[in-house]
Structure 1
Amino acid sequence: MESGHSAEEVYGAVVAVAGYARSIYDRNVLDSIGDDVSLPMMFYDACFLVQYMLTCTDAGIAHMDPALRSFFDANNKDVYHDIMQLENQLPWLVVRAVMAFRPVPLKEFVASLRGCLQDRKDRHEKPFVMDDAFEPPHLLGLLRYYIVGRSDVKLPTLPETESMSFSVSAIELAEIGITLTASKTSELVYMGVNKKGNLFAELSLSPLSLDDTRASVLLNMAALELCVTPSFQDAEDEASAVCSYLLLLGMLEDREEDVHELRARRVLQRGGGLTNREALRFLTSVQGLRLGSRYVRIMEEIEDYKVNRRTRTKLHAFVYRNVKVIVAVISVIAALASIIGTIRSLKSQ
């Protein structure tokens, strides 16, 4: 009704692309499903998905039947969870066939969900630009593209080192003077070690507010990366950014206290639905993921930082480990100095 076209006309557009759409699926699965089942299923799924996308836009909500809008409002979390699962994806050309009759302002829709991993937004984050050349495979692929972002920074080549660790704890980073910080952008690809002067550096990661739905979205985006990119090291950093992001978060956490530290550093935003124990269980469970290229790059940056600042990092580590003793000694020395000064003052009188 909203499109001004009959259901038969829209259905015909779906049928026109259904042959190619069927070829995308696993043949062993679809051989047992005839057109009489698969075509209506694609049609209904595409109409439902387009209708959901419209609920994320101002114009879509304004023209929506109140009962339908109420349904989406009441079930939004469950619907969003389901449409972001990799196994539920519908080929984008089928969705696009329906959108030809009921257009969706894609930029507004993407903007409404691009920051879905954070509760709090940075007002100063630059507005994103739609890439007209990008053709998504499906909805999950579309949103992953803009959640990850595109890095326009040319990273310098790092010198080779004799050895390199592929894991380091948050305590080890703190000992050598690398602190965790939340980046100013929600785009996951912007992660790395930024040097601050000669003695300190920051490991910057996009902030995350973790609940069950966001954990599921991250896992499904990581699964998509694993499915479509045979070798992360031969692809752009964006191709494995979610895997790199999850591996870095998991690497930094061994105990619930580490989760608390990430919250204190605002890398994990407070208010997320998972407790510290639940967040620790989730992030340590993904450590079997394939090493993403940006993850490997950050390990190289940490090793380069240690090699080029060997004396300073050792000094910082010594101070970090013995700070209480050092403070106590300084306090004793200050007290002794005060007593000696008082004695000298009395003698001079």
Structure 2
Amino acid sequence: MTSDWTGSAIALLEADGNRSADTHLHVFPLPAEWGIDLYLKDESVHPTGSLKHRLARSLILYGLVNGRIHEGTTLVEASSGSTAVSEAYFARMLGLPFVTVVPRSTSQEKIDLIEFYGGRCHFVDSGAAMYAEAERLASECGGHYLDQFTYAERATDWRGNNNIAESVFSQLSRERHAIPSWIVVGAGTGGTSATFGRYVRYRCHDTRIAVVDPEGSAFYGGWRNGDPSFTTGTPSRIEGIGRPRVEPSFVPGVIDEMIPVPDAASVAAIQLLKQRTLHWAGGSTGTNLVGAFQLIARMLRAGERGSVVTLICDGGARYLDTYYSDDWVAAQEWDLAPHRARMEHFLATGEWVED
């Protein structure tokens, strides 16, 4: 039996979903003669500013309906990024304490965002220690470990529930290519690619799913080798995507192609996006764009027409001191110029020239 508090909590989350589920679907300008349309699903307009708003709401709903979250339950996560920011927002909405385990190296900007929504940061010495410490904290206080990397793929109802896939296809219904040829996303937990992949199969759409992966991430190697235990031990420099291990929520069977993307190319792509559309975004959006451009070039070579959809994952304001800082980019020893030139050449000619 659902308690009065649980029913009220679910109603609050559902109301938020009703307000924010249909984010904008922008058109990226491509030459008309190509006969190909590129759409950007703008997840930066969510109340907490990122794609992770959907994930956080789903994770908390999942905990509620499974009887793991009750009035007064402390919510615990292992995240120093956008997921923790969004979870803190929802925890405050429900009047629940929220603690996230973060490495000591976490930037003050991220800590400030989490604390702005009433969350508390618990520090550990390394990223590898986050998971076990989050489990310990949740057990110690009788709380609930939200565990985005395990539950992301199962917390979202891919059949409906205003999920991101359903939203995209509804918005495309009046477009000239209403069923996209490709959907391009990154993987942080794997939840977004699982949602899209399952949805297109459930609806019997002739749409393929491409997952882009940054340098140092284990997802591409695990998918290519068919090895869910594949690791790199290297943290991603593109926030929100890429992991040093293949996470439990990553579902390789729903993915048609994976595309590794150099980090410098991701950053060059968000600069190009800002110049061409006035939308500015985080690095993971750039990773998405690089993958989308490559697939469009392939479609052009094959004489195909159609549409491609990708995501604006979060806004650029969070990255003024990193991806949009020339000094920070130089400190990473990234040369953006050749990647920018390759993308400019693609947009002028339709050709993607590999190194």
If the TM-score is normalised by the length of the shorter chain, which range does it land in? under 0.3
Structure with more strand by fraction:
2
Task: Kindly name which structure, 1 or 2, has the bigger radius of gyration based on alpha carbons.
Answer: 1
Query: What TM-score, normalized by structure 2, do the two folds share?
Result: 0.27
